[in-house]
Chains A and B, each alone.
Chain A
Amino acid sequence: MVVVKRVSAYTICDLLRLLSGGKLAVRSSRACFDLYYVGIPILSIGIGLLISAIIFYTVGVPLDLFINEIGAGFQSYQTLRYSVLLLMLSVGLVMSFKASVWNVGAEGQMIWGMLAGGFVGLFIASCAIYVSPSELSSYISVPGVEVLDASPVKPVISVLRMNPLLGQLLMILAAMLAGGLWALIPAFLKAYVGIDEVASTLILNYVAYQVYNHLVAYVMRGLSVQARQFLRTDRLNSALLFESLPGTTVTLQEVILSLLFFVSMLTLYKYTSIGLRLRVAGSNPQLLRSVGIDERKYVLMAMLLSGMLAGAAGVSILANPGIGKLEKIANVVTPPTFNLGYTAILVSWLSMLDLRLVPVYAYVVASLFQGGGLLQSEVNARFPGLSLTGAALTYIPIGSILLVYVVLRVLVDYSVRFRR
């Protein structure tokens, strides 16, 4: 076999050669930002979307509708919110993927972030109490008091117990702690027992959904009539909710958090020894061991970081003014995390595990995600017979883009030559 040094070639030519039976050869050197770095993710998004469009076309979704709605996703203001959340999640995932720790349990870690943040917000930073109906009017003007349920029999008010900023900070910290601790379980299993983390993180997602249901239904269930009826918590006190940026659904706090995480992870990764060790733990753990560093600790570190960031993303979903409460999960296909934990895997892989590219692909994937949602509502409104589900519209594009990407990714390190 000949090792060929790549001089110049184009992704698409390589692809055609591969399809027509060419053999792979190792690329001996590559520049940091060459065509492949940018070309392959974009190409795989294109091909993956084409595959999904064809799949949806077979049941009668017109192609122009598909293109229109996906395009509309790029301009929708809701996209901004998803991209901020995906940025937060994917930065954490990239850190763990860099250390070859394949954390696919961001869903469960987000759920724990929601639970811990919700617990602090609902029971520590504020509390809900019953008041007598005759006294209800006297509470309305008190600052920090909010009427949750004005029913004439058993009215419920929410009383703020601390400075709202401190309350929000505590919520975020609790969420990060809970997400990180939940992520440490599979990390311990991987580092000290040798159980594959992909399977255990995914199994723990199912456990987290049921813990959520249990806590929401029995421990954190609200006092108001609606909350008791529909198995949900009370609404968070509006002083504790994050602040929406004018005209959008994205909140100021989650923008600050995601930028903070982005910058700090970039710094941690590029300029500190922890970042270097994480990188080496991924590529050559024997080297770490030979210089006397316990590489298992860096498995824990990688998981802890990504779990903490996922927890923060969870509480950002909960504290959004549009949500503000925890509801029982009726079906595991539609969790309150909108499956963003799985979508973030797509973002981190498309960005080639390069932190600098994460914001770009967070925006692109958020647009596709939002476009999928728009397509679903449009199709269900226009063609009542089709009944597309949300799961189909998120998982099919995610899965097909990922699969195409995984295959095309080979072309970054290998070129295709015909053997003479």
Chain B
Amino acid sequence: MLDQVQGFVLSITPIFTCLYLASLGNSIVEKSGILNLAIDGAYTLGTAMAFIAVASVRNPTLALIITSFLIGLLGILIAFLTTKLPISHGAVGLSTQFVGYGLASFLAYPVSIKVRNEGVPLNTYLPVTEVVLSYLIISLLIGVITHVLMYRSRLGVAIRAVGENPAVASSLGTNVLGVRVIAAFMGYILIGVASSLYILLYTKNWQEGAGMGYGWISFAISISAGRHPLVGMVTSLIFASLIRYAYVLQDILISYGINVSNYAVIAMPFIAAIIIPLTASVIPQMRRRFTPPKHLGKIFFSEERSV
């Protein structure tokens, strides 16, 4: 029994961490009122950067730190553009996403050829119990810390106030730009960690298109958990087990005579990413708790307050 639980935890942790941390990052960014549509671009770029970093510095932890810092800078850029200028959050997010896709393919593809041809060893994390368990504990701990930060600290109150109504927050003396930059930096660092773990702990290699779409799955996880750090653990577990045990599910369904192709298995998390937020928003009690911040994605332009 204990062995089974341990086996389940060990097999599900890699995908769980790389979904949960990204959804946590998305929650922080969106709580501050920035519509986070660049998440998939950042995720794809992060996997590419982690791959390049681990191929050059040969140390997974160092690669993880470099990647998450660089992705964090991307978050600062997004927060700055959307808060400083009166421009659509969706437009900034979408164009950053395309730049992210392009740069990921541009930077990592030559490295992947080099790795394959010259046999460069990739020092990713070993799949041993200690490493996997420590990442599980670290990510759960980060979740709890985020919860404390968001709901028990001054910074958290400021972040939530800025997301609910930036004009009021600003007139009460909060620096909207500063708070959003901090929130986006923290959020994107978590997205960077998650996308590095996608390479370093989960797939252990890069191919073109790696990580594409996982940003959107994390986005859906975060939305269906109402952007709450602790509820996110449950929804992440659902999605992680869906991805990890999709082929087992396929076997079970086939044994009942329902024919499911491999393509349906690949599409399953994406279909769930549509359906699970849907159920969360149809149930009235959940809908009230899980409402998005009031000014999520709305343009806040401090120069125009008096107009």
Residues of A within 8 A of B (CB): 1, 3, 23-26, 55, 59, 102, 104, 185, 189, 193-196, 198-200, 202-204, 206-207, 210-211, 213-214, 217-218, 331-333, 342, 345, 349, 385-389, 391-400, 402-403, 405-407, 409-410, 413-414
Contacts and interface: CB of A to CB of B under 8 A. Distances in A.
A397 B98 CA distance: 9
A211 to B, nearest CB: 7
A316 B216 CA distance: 30
Given A26-B307, A202-B216, A391-B105, A403 B267 contact: no
Nearest to B113: A387
Contacts of A406: 81, 87-88, 91-92, 95
A195 B278 contact: yes
Contact of B106 (A55, A199, A213): A55
Contacts of A199: 37, 216, 219-220, 223
Given A198-B37, A386-B110, A189 B261 contact: no
Contacts of A213: 263
A399 to B, nearest CB: 3
Given A26-B307, A207-B271, A388 B97 contact: no
B254 interface: no
A345 B97 CA distance: 13
A349 B277 contact: no
B303 interface: yes
A204 B86 contact: no
Interface string B66-104: 000000000000000100011110111111111111110
Contacts of B264: 210, 214
Contacts of B113: 387
Among A23, A204, A349, A403, max chain B CB count under 10 A is at: A403
Nearest to A216: B263
Nearest to B261: A214
A215 to B, nearest CB: 9
B86 A410 contact: yes
Contacts of A409: 87, 91
A396 B99 contact: yes
Contacts, number: 162
B149 to A, nearest CB: 25
Which secondary structure dominates where chain B touches chain A?
A: helix
Task: Using C-beta atoms within 8 Å of the partner chain, give the interface range for chain B.
Answer: 35 or more
A179 B264 CA distance: 20
A341 B91 CA distance: 16
Contacts of B281: 193-195
Given A193-B281, A206-B270, A342-B98, A332 B109 contact: no
Given A206-B270, A399-B98, 8 more contacts: A198-B93, A203-B216, A214-B263, A333-B105, A333-B208, A387-B113, A405-B95, A407-B87
A345 B106 CA distance: 22
Contacts of A102: 90, 94
The 5 tightest CB contacts between A and B, nearest first, are A395-B102, A399-B98, A399-B99, A392-B106, A396-B102
A335 B216 CA distance: 18
Interface in B35-66: 35, 37, 40-41
A407 to B, nearest CB: 7
Nearest to A215: B263
Contacts of B212: 332-333
Contact of A399 (B100, B216, B297, B303): B100
Contacts of B91: 349, 402, 406, 409
B274 interface: yes
Contacts of A214: 261, 263-264
B109 A392 contact: yes
A204 B208 contact: no
Residue among A204, A406, A409 with most chain B CB within 10 A: A406
A194 B223 CA distance: 12
A189 B275 CA distance: 10
A26 B303 CA distance: 9
Given A199-B216, A396-B102, A403 B92 contact: yes
Given A392-B105, A399-B96, A399-B102, A331 B282 contact: no
